[in-house]
Chain A
Amino acid sequence: MSPQSAAGRDVPAPRHHVLSVLVENRSGVLARVASLFARRGYNIYSLAVAPTDDERFSRITVVVDVESAPLEQVVKQLNKLVNVIKISELDPRDSVERELMLVTVKAPVHVRSELIELVGVFRGRILDVGHDELAVSLDEHPARLDDLEELLRPYGIIDLQRTGRVALPKLERTPSTGLRAAG
């Protein structure tokens, strides 16, 4: 499968929702958010947290498996947490998403150049070269990470770590008619 075909799988499985949760950047907040999911039996599929440009706040991007429960209650319950400031659900069609993956893959000499070429097609990077292993990184749309992962698997994956996705809403393509809140 060529990497381009990933475009057709640009959307995560429908039972997953991506929530972008703006929270106060202080101790215990992640535990509150996580335990709210846990006590209602919702599985967190992936989670990424880091401070925003304003250090008082962090953004949690959480991909949640909500097949069994309505998303509305999750969002409303999250909103009740005092340290949660804003929640937006990011529709994959209206957002830009990225994830980072680090992979160590077996790369004996006879396949090494083939592997380097493959990583190059994905615009990934070779981070480290060992005697018969390569460490590769790729920051891309999560679906592209899936593709590379799949293609590397036959070579023998030794270690693999993904960060979980981060996302932001897509920007307007046309001049907006309304006023946009500053700051």
Chain B
Amino acid sequence: MNISGGEALIRSLELEGVEVIFGLPGGAILPVYDPIIDSPIRHVLVRHEQGAGHMAEGFAHATGRPGVAMVTSGPGATNIVTPLADAYMDSVPMVCITGQVPTPSIGTDAFQECDTVGITRGVTKHNELVTRAEDIPLAIRQAFHIATTGRPGPVLVDIPKDIVDPMNPNSDMSWYWPSDADVSSSLPGYKPTMKGHPRKIKDAAELIARAERPVLYAGGGILKARAAEALLELAEMTGIPVVTTLMARGAFPDDHELCLGMPGMHGNYTAVTAMQRSDLLIALGSRFDDRVTGKLDGFAPEAKIIHVDIDPAELGKVRRPDVPIVGDCRLVIEELTRAVAALDPERRVDLTPWRQTLSGWQERYPLVYEQSDDGNLLKPQYVLEQLRDRSPSDTIVASGVGQHQMWTSQYWRFNHPYTWVNSGGLGTMGFSVPAAIGAKVGCPDRTVWAIDGDGCFQMTAQELVTAATERIPVKIAILNNAYLGMVRQWQEMFYEERYSEVYLSPDLPDYVKWSEAMGCIALRVESPDEVGPAIDKANEIDDRPVVLEFRTDSGEKVFPMVPSGKTNDEIVVDPVQGEGGR
């Protein structure tokens, strides 16, 4: 049967199981928007293409299914470069369809033309310019296959207008749907390794049995591999404590006795120091990011390393592993659990002294802040505790980037996987509002809070119009301290309080009026006793977006902190806890 390339594209997306597209039409992608009217796929019309990209990411973070964004050529495509880079850094499965000028016009500086595949080459797992209508179904199948298998990531498919426009003979094609075999034979260079090497797994089990101070260093790969249960089993069977990186919050329950929480630059003292003193780090889908290791020369100096990752390029990229294992985290962890269980229990070192040391640190260096008096600005940590305690335990939390992100990661109790949506690797300000919208579209029955800063909010707030129009009832908490807070913190600590271009004003814009103008219910919260009731009220509203603006103390800094360029031994705890030494 002959159909147009545009119809073939939409039909291909349907057959890939796509339920929702986040997008914004324009000239070059126009013919694809016509068949959308007749398709069961929901389309969410965004107000800026960056919003479409982050929504697709938020959808993918929360559901594990690939997010789909569709935008036009030229500026549509360049506006989505940031979300692509974000998804690439955080290994988020995402498929982005961009319109392109008609094939005869490519290279002529046509209206709204840009070299989309050239521009996005470095920020996608793969991208492809499709030049013939009959190639569309295979290109779409390949895109979903590549985005969701191996180390997930964003894939972009660039589609010239003439091959999707039914008025143009170039769009005429005879419909077919490629089989799995067609897809794999069309990608001869793409075969992710899933199963770990049995001998390496045996070596790893031996190291685990002999370690006196082991730490399971869980990264975002645990979530990507759906390996949270497997990790819990390994931790409980071995009694080894677990740190969860910023990308892995929720991969292991915070309330579990073996959970040490987040390591890294703003990690808690125990998680940071446990890694630092460890004699065996078992890295599972984590990548020794500079925010985790601090100064690399001084990182975990006595630790042997077992490194499990599905991406062979991660092994040895930063820290040379003693036992490298390429494979899918879930499969490898299951094998590892069996291999350790098969060892003679007599040979396994008793970890009680290590766990006692750790709980000693936990008692001595908990997260602390001082509650503010009535009439003074709110403490952001207090707001987060209240949000946490007054919202359902399976609430999905999205955040922007900066101080509020670190406080959210520190103070929330993540006890379920896929409840934390954030921009870790790229650190994209403005991520939270659109990402929360995408998460809510993917999980309509769950409460979704975006915890945002005032700086971040101003970058992508217009997507609340999308949320109000489309009836996507997300909740936004703005921690308004009138500053670009994290930059302010660095200027205070490392630039002798010389504040340069970080002041934003607490009431310009008026966040309540602005939010109301975008169709949200909005409340300003200024004193501690108003915090709880405002959150309760927000949690009750389920028919439109809600924005709570909390006026917070700009003097509050994120602690602990490992200053940039220092080793993790030089962690600075809250001043009330004194020196952070051993």
Contacts and interface: CB of A to CB of B under 8 A. Distances in A.
Interface stretch (B186-194, B358-366, B380-388, B568-576): B186-194
Contacts of B317: 73, 76
A182 interface: no
B232 interface: no
B392 to A, nearest CB: 40
A167 B313 CA distance: 26
Q: Chain A contact residues (Cβ within 8 angstroms of B): what range?
A: 20 to 34
B129 A28 contact: yes
A113 interface: no
Contacts of B190: 82
A15 interface: no
Contact of A28 (B117, B188, B311, B312): B117
A35 B312 contact: no
A41 B313 CA distance: 17
Contact of A80 (B117, B313, B316): B313
B198 interface: no
Nearest to A56: B188
Contacts of B189: 23-24, 81-86
A82 B187 contact: yes
Which of A32, A79, A80 has the most C-beta atoms of chain B within 10 angstroms of its own C-beta?
A80
A77 interface: yes
Interface in B137-189: 146, 187-189
B122 A35 contact: yes
B188 A79 contact: no
A181 interface: no
Interface in A7-46: 23-24, 27-28, 31-32, 35, 39
A82 B183 CA distance: 13
B121 A73 contact: no
Nearest to B117: A28
Contacts of A159: none
A72 interface: yes
A35 B121 contact: yes
B345 interface: no
Nearest to A74: B313
Contacts of B121: 31-32, 35
Nearest to B187: A82
A23 B188 CA distance: 9
B313 A24 contact: no
B126 interface: yes
A81 B155 CA distance: 12
Interface string A76-99: 110111111110000000000000
Max chain A Cβ within 10 angstroms of own Cβ: one of B187, B311, B313: B313
- The residue in B121, B125, B146 that gathers the most chain A C-beta atoms within 10 A of its C-beta is B121
A81 to B, nearest CB: 7
B581 interface: no
Contacts of A79: 312-313
Contacts of B125: 82
B118 interface: yes
Contacts of B129: 27-28
B112 to A, nearest CB: 21
Nearest to B317: A73
Nearest to A23: B189
Given A28-B117, A73-B317, A80 B311 contact: yes
Contact of A82 (B126, B311, B312): B126
A31 B146 CA distance: 20
A72 B311 CA distance: 14
Nearest to A75: B313
A147 B121 CA distance: 40
Interface string B95-126: 00000000000000000000001100110011
A76 B312 contact: yes
Interface of B: 117-118, 121-122, 125-126, 129, 146, 187-190, 311-313, 316-317
Interface of A: 23-24, 27-28, 31-32, 35, 39, 56, 72-73, 76-77, 79-86
9 contacts: A28-B117, A35-B122, A56-B188, A82-B125, A82-B146, A83-B189, A84-B189, A85-B188, A86-B189
